[in-house]
Amino acid sequence: MNQRARMRTLLLFSDAFSEAEISDMKNLYVIVLLMHLSALVSHGQCKHGHNFTHNYQNHVKLVRKLLEQKRYLTVSRGLYSHSDYPMCVRSRFESHALAGVIHKLHYYGQESKGKRRPGKRHTIRAFIEVKAEDVPVLHISAYLAGGNVDPRVSGRYDILYAANICFIVRTRKHGPLQCLLWRRAVATERQRVPCRDAFRKLCAGYRGHTFVYTKDRCPSGNAT
């Protein structure tokens, strides 16, 4: 019975009840209607929340799978707020750790300020962990020879996007800002297009220095 029909029923029986009783019935009807609407809204919110949880879990699963493959991953595209950013970042799975994976990571420092050409090559070990916190998170702790953390390739990143061959992460609003597209080094053009499109969309709000991994810029690299 719809709302209009219910009100018609109340009016038809109005002669059988006092004015006070009719008022009480109308008030009760309003309360029941509000409870019904509240239940519908709550159901919608729960369903929406379930979808978000499912997406988060899917992001975590896909990123972990990529990190555990014995294929090189590259930072195919990056936006950096600071000028001293790493160039030509490549990383590959070495072993599992208690809560994550160990990668062997390579990158080039810049030859000199302002030139934006690869300089000294660095090879370091990185502990990488993927966690589902308030959002899916990627933690990278890359260690220099002396045991200190290398800040250029270490940090805590929110996972914004994940697919079978790539994922996109960005730092939060503290420290140097980065928005990065990690991708399998070897991929077809058809596979790369959705990753690039997602990067342009999700990293559009970042301003700063852009780096694109290409075989011309990166020794022994693969075009992206």
What CATH number does the domain containing 143 carry? 2.40.128.20
Question: Pick the residue with more confidence: 58 or 111?
Answer: 58
* Residues 86, 42 share a domain: no
Angstrom distance (rounded) from CA 206 to CA 212: 15
- pLDDT-based confidence at residue 198 (cuts at 50, 70, 90): very high
In a domain, 86, yes or no: yes
What is the domain range of residue 130? 63-212
Least confident of 2-16, 158-172, 187-201: 2-16
Quick one: pLDDT at residue 114? 56
What average pLDDT does this structure show over 102-126?
83
Angstrom distance (rounded) from CA 49 to CA 55: 10
In a domain, 223, yes or no: no
* Residues 108, 139 share a domain: yes
* Residues 138, 84 share a domain: yes
Quick one: pLDDT at residue 219? 78
* Residues 68, 35 share a domain: no
Judged against a pLDDT cut of 50, whether residue 2 lies above it is answered with no
* Residues 117, 201 share a domain: yes
* Residues 11, 84 share a domain: no
pLDDT digit string, tens, across residues 8-64: 443 344 444 455 544 554 454 444 444 444 443 334 433 434 444 567 789 999 999
* Residues 205, 121 share a domain: yes
Contact 80, 209 (CB under 8 A): yes
Angstrom distance (rounded) from CA 11 to CA 72: 75
What average pLDDT does this structure show over 190-211?
93
In a domain, 54, yes or no: no
What average pLDDT does this structure show over 200-206?
91
* Residues 75, 45 share a domain: no
In a domain, 180, yes or no: yes
The residue among 168, 177, 180 whose CA lies nearest residue 212 is 180
In a domain, 217, yes or no: no
Percent of the chain with pLDDT over 70: 71
Question: Pick the residue with more confidence: 113 or 162?
Answer: 162
* Residues 179, 136 share a domain: yes
Number of domains in the chain: 2
What average pLDDT does this structure show over 158-174?
93
* Residues 80, 7 share a domain: no
Neighbours of 112 (CB within 10 A): 9
Quick one: pLDDT at residue 128? 98
What average pLDDT does this structure show over 199-224?
83
pLDDT digit string, tens, across residues 76-101: 999 999 888 999 999 999 999 988 99
Go through the chain and tell me how many residues it has.
224
* Residues 136, 34 share a domain: no
* Residues 72, 43 share a domain: no
